[in-house]
Chain A
Amino acid sequence: MFGTYLRRELVGRRKQTVIIAIGMALAIALVILVQSFSAGVKNAQASVLESVYGVGTDITVSQTPEAPSGEPGGGGGAGRFDFGADDGTTTDDGSTAVSQSRLAAERGTETFDAAALDSVLTVNNVAAASATLALTNTTFDGELPDFSEVRSGGAPGDGAAPASGGADGAGGSSFDVNSFTVLGLDPSGDSVGPLSSVTLADGRGLDADDAESTVAILDSSYATSAELAVGDTLNIGGTDFEVVGTVTSTSADATTASNVYIPLGVAQSVAGLEGMVSTISVQAASSTAIAQVKSDIEAALPDATVSSQEDLASSVSGSLASASTLISQLGTWLSLAVLVAAFALAILFTISGVTRRTREFGTLKAIGWSNRRIIGQVAGESTVQALIGGVIGVVVGLGAILIINAAGITLGASATSSTGPGGVGSPGGAGPGGGFGGAAAAVAQTTDVVLNAPITATVIAIAAGIALIGGLLAGAFGGWRAARLRPAEALRSVS
Chain B
Amino acid sequence: MYTLTDVTKTYTQGKRTVVALDKVSLEIPDGQMVAIQGPTGGGKSTLLQMLGALDRPSTGTITFRSNDLSAAGESTLTGVRATDIGIVFQSFNLIPTLTAQENVEMALVPLGVGTAERATRARDALASVGLDERGGHLPSELSGGQQQRVAIARALVKRPAVLLADEPTGALDESTRDEIMDLLEKMWTELGLTLIVVTHDSAVARRAQRRLHIKNGHVKDVA
Q: Which residues of A contact B (CB under 8 A)?
A: 1, 4-5, 8-9, 11-13, 359-360, 362-371, 373, 486-488, 490-491, 493, 495
Determine the chain B residues whose CB is within 8 A of the CB of A366 once the complex forms. Answer: 52, 54, 81, 87
Q: Could you tell me the distance between the alpha carbons of A367 and B83 in the complex, rounded to whole angstroms?
A: 9
Cβ-closest chain B residue relative to A367:
B107
Contact of A1 among B79, B82, B109, B166 (CB under 8 A): B109
B123 at interface (Cβ–Cβ under 8 A)?
A: no
Complex Cα–Cα for A363 and B52 (A): 12
Question: Can you list 12 A-B pairs with a CB-CB distance of less than 8 A?
Answer: A9-B97, A12-B97, A366-B54, A367-B155, A368-B79, A369-B109, A371-B78, A486-B55, A490-B93, A491-B48, A491-B49, A493-B90
B106 pairs with A364, CB closer than 8 A: yes
Q: A468 CA to B52 CA in the complex, in Å? A: 38
Contact present for A365 and B81 (CB under 8 Å): yes
Q: A1-B105, A366-B54 are in contact. Are A488 and B49 (CB under 8 A)?
A: yes
Q: Are B102 and A368 in contact (CB under 8 A)?
A: no
Residues on A with C-beta less than 8 A from B85 are 368
Give Cα A17–Cα B111 distance, bound, in whole angstroms. 30
CA distance in complex: A367, B95 (Å): 12
CB < 8 Å neighbour of A487 from B55, B98, B102, B118:
B55
Q: A369-B110, A493-B90 are in contact. Are A1 and B52 (CB under 8 A)?
A: no
Query: Is B91 a contact partner of A487 (Cβ separation < 8 A)?
Result: no
Residue of A nearest to B96 (CB): A12
Instruction: Please give, as numbers and ranges, the residues of chain A lying within 8 Å of B49 by CB-CB distance.
Output: 488, 491
The residues of A that contact B45 with a CB separation of less than 8 Å are 491
Would A5 and B98 be within 8 Å (CB), given that A367-B107, A491-B54 are in contact? yes
Choose one: A4, A9, A363, A488; the contact of B55 (CB below 8 Å).
A488
Interface centre among A368, A371, A486, A491 (most CB of B within 10 A): A368
Are the C-beta atoms of B78 and A368 separated by less than 8 Å? yes
Interface string of B74-86 (1 = CB under 8 A from A): 1100110111010
Q: A366-B81, A368-B81, A493-B167 are in contact. List 8 more A-B contacts (CB 8 A).
A: A5-B106, A362-B93, A367-B107, A368-B83, A368-B85, A368-B158, A369-B78, A490-B89
- Return the chain A residue nearest B110 by Cβ: A368
B149 proximal to A (CB < 8 A) = no
- Pick the residue among B96, B110, B170 that contacts A373 (CB under 8 A): B110
Instruction: Report if B154 contacts A (CB, 8 A).
Output: yes
Residues of A within 8 A of B109 (CB): 1, 369, 373
Most buried by B among A362, A363, A367, A490: A367
A487 surroundings in chain B (CB, below 8 A): 54-55, 81
Closest Cβ neighbor of A494 among chain B residues: B91
Tell me which residues across on chain B come within 8 A of A486, comparing CB atoms.
Answer: 54-55
Q: How far apart are the CA atoms of A493 and B95 in the complex, in Å?
A: 15
Q: How far apart are the CA atoms of A1 and B98 in the complex, in Å?
A: 10
B25 to chain A, nearest CB (A): 22
B105-142 contacts to A (CB < 8 Å): 105-107, 109-111, 118
Report chain B residues within 8 Å CB of A363: 89, 93, 95
| A365-B81, A491-B48 given; A370·B75 CB < 8 A | yes
Q: A363-B89, A367-B81, A495-B91 are in contact. Are A488 and B106 (CB under 8 A)?
A: no
A360 to B66, CA, bound (A): 30
Closest to A495 in B: B91
| Structural contact, A371 and B89, CB atoms closer than 8 A | no
A373 partner residues in chain B, CB cutoff 8 A:
109-110
- Inter-chain contacts of A371 with B (CB < 8 A): 74, 78
Task: Specify which chain B residues have a CB less than 8 angstroms from the CB of A364 in the assembled complex.
Answer: 95, 106
